Structure 1
Amino acid sequence: MSLSLRSHAIAVTLVLGTLTLGTVAALVFTTTRMEHNTARLWHALESVRATEELQKGLMSHEREQRLYEATNKPVHAEEAQAIATRLRQELAQARQLADTGADSALLDELNTELEHYLANPTPRPGSPEANTGRMLARELQISSRLVEQNLADARATLEANQRWDRLANVVGLAVSLALVAGLALTFLLVRSQVYWPLRAVREALLHFRPGAPLRLEPRAGVRELQDIAHTFNETASRLEKQREVQLGFLAGVAHDLRNPLQALRMASSSVNPDRPLPPEDKLRARFALVNRQVDRLTRMVDDLLDTTRIEAGQLSLNVGEHDLIELVQEAVELHRPSTQLHELVTCFPEDGLTVRCDSTRISQVLNNLLSNAIKYSPAGGQVHIEVGEEEDGVWVAVSDPGVGIPTSEQESIFEPFRRSAASRTHIPGVGLGLSVARRILNAHGGTIEVRSTPGRGSTFCFRLPWTVADERTRRPSGYAAPTEQLSPEAAS
């Protein structure tokens, strides 16, 4: 299943965003760890410095104490006292820098030994200190252990920092490669799913020419471009189909024009300046033939002109109040003399039905329906014309016992130049009458529909509202099938 352009963009954004957030999180975590280790390293080095200062102070105190004992000068005693104060301060500072339990234990032990030394700076005669002269051996040993421990901690912290630095380099390189790969995949995705399908559609549009071989564009790429390609394919197919219909229309017009023109030519050739005129009865029959053929040609030309005006948006309505029953009666009486095989049967309400409409255009619709009912019933029979009213307006139904229309063609016959396949070969016509009728009715706000059974006839029913909503010149809207059903009388 293809994804839309938005889905691709969201997916790419999520992937790149995840990589970016992962990189930022890794860098923040690495930086935090390295800052923590740097702080530990600083504490360790400060603790070493404080311990070394403590060792120096101890040795200075011992020297001043021995000088005082040898010279008995108060200045040495005062200096020893001052050094003792600094020793306690440096020991307290070392306690503040201690960040491990081992450092704290050594400092506690050193504090105990230091206080013992400061309380008894002069060794007792016969004691090991007096015999060896090493008064601060224990304190110096503890402080040395503290220095070694802090140095070991500093080395471990430094090594940890180096590991984190290497890890940060690896993560940065991996993320950089992932970003480059993501950008490359995004480029390939855009190229395959957007660029090439767009290029293919562009090429199809550039090579599309009326009459040229139809080149349908395959549906590829993101969903939006697939929809564009699908729409283009449908449009190209419709245009090609319309072109075929137009070519068929031209062929039909040529065929339908040829028959009356041949009849006119035969009728006119019978009147030769070099020969006497035919008898009056034959001359009247030939002129009747000429009138019929001229009426047929006039109707064809009028349908063509009406179709041209409608397609150009130039259908004008001269709206007024008219009795629909009178319009139907006029159309019926006009067509009675045109056939001896058909019986026109009417069914009207007793009272008139006044509607606002263009009487000329509605008469054109009625004449078209009655003419079709007679023409497509070559075997003759009864043609029923019924008029009725409903809540929203009025309706007129014309039923014939003719050849009928297949269900698959009952909508297409309302399109320009479209006729039923069952009748187009032996019944003349161009295929514009029903299209013009539907556009006229749509311009009035009405509808037209058909019910038919092949071989049993057809019923055309159109509806008109009581009042035309817009009486100005307008282009008819597209046909919308009515939701109401034909009345039982009209469907009979």
Structure 2
Amino acid sequence: MSIRLKLTMWYSSLLAVTLLIFGVSIYWFVNYNTYRDVKSQIEEQLRQLRIVPTVDFFSGGLNLNYSNRFEGNNVYIQVVNYTNGELDQSDNLKDTRLRLPVPDPDKKIETGYVQLEVDHYRFLAYQLPLQLKANNETVGVLQVAYYTSPLDNYMKNLRTTLIFSSLAVIVIAFTVGLIIARQALRPVKNVIQAVTQIKNGSNLSVRIEREGPNDEMGHLTDTLNSMLERIETTYNELDEAYMAQRRFVSDASHELRTPLTTIRGNIELLERMWLPALEAAQAKRADGGSGDMGSLLTESNVVLTREAMMDVAAEAKRMSGLVNDLLSLARADAGYVMEKQEELLLPLVEDVARRAQLLPRTAEWVIGDLSPLEGVTVHGHADFLRQLLFIFVENAFKYTPSGYVKLHAVKSGNQAGIVIQDTGIGMNSDEIPHIFERFYRADVSRGKTSGTGLGLSIAKWIIDEHSGSIEVSTREGEGSTFTVWLPLAFLDKSNQV
């Protein structure tokens, strides 16, 4: 429920309670004063009659015709004699030919006011039992009544008027309250619209429109605008810093590739040039000769030189791989768009399977059924797809000290799945949501298994660029299964239904 509606409901409820109290008070006041006047006239008639409730005899000798002196034409008098059944009425009551209801003589007759109704005519009557002085026997009853139908109708109309007028006022007040609340809360609506626009469009230059006087809402609008201005400034500074960082990583990666490539080339050249000479010098020394280099090198120096060159080559290769990974991630951060084209998936996967046999491994390499990829074409970049598959295959070899690593394919609907399954160390299921984060490593042998933790982040970027998805199934100590799903660009007619 909106604030506008809540305020209107509270206002309308308060008004309804106020009108209820006011209406009830008016009705009670009018009703009390109206019937108080009626009772006053009845009591005046009783005083003029000078009736004593206890009489020595009752013979109908009451001079009711003297009622012409009674005040008001709406006061009627009736006397009933229970001993002989005689009934005497005032002249005005005789003219109406009405008989007021008589109380049952067998029941105790209470002295006081009662409501009577005769042929839909309503009366307010004061009943007075007439008793013998000797034994207090009730021998009759005196009824002084006032015709109240006009008054009852008046009170009914007043009640109806109060009810419907109150309802009309509440409805009008509710409508007007909604309009006023909408006008009063319009700045809040502007705030919501501006914040929503910023949230949906990431445009921090949006400002809230300033309306109305310099009240609390105006101060709130100014405060929010100042806050948005500071947020925009901070965001722009952070964005510039982030762009500079991305440019640095990208430039550094490019700059590092050249010297690392040179280092690797020179190391490989040294290995080709010096290792045979070193081995020959070592052989001559073993035969007791004094070879050119053998005279300067001992057997331990030859071993140390070979190991040093191998270590330098290995580290250079590792740094080159790290730089390539950083370059790939820098491209991803910079919004690099791959140039894609339709590629047959089966030859690409077979090429990866063939080259994967040459990777260092201790597990058996098994190539399963790849027939589901026959005639299947994907819209992608061949080199990045190869890199994607090699990442998963190399990870499988790295974390599978024994057993096997298997590559096979499946197809479901308009997607092709490439499955890399291993029987390695596996992972805890709680770590699966984090394995694609940069520098995160989920293996239980952290520090023992080489790696930077960037491979799966790169793989996730490649999959996202190809509008694909990755499915992971793993169990600690039993192995992992990664299924890469790629949308198909074309199905061979032989495979179409």
TM-score (norm 2): 0.43
TM-score by length of 1: 0.43
Q: Higher helix share goes to which structure?
A: 1
Higher relative contact order (CA 8 A, sep 6+): 1
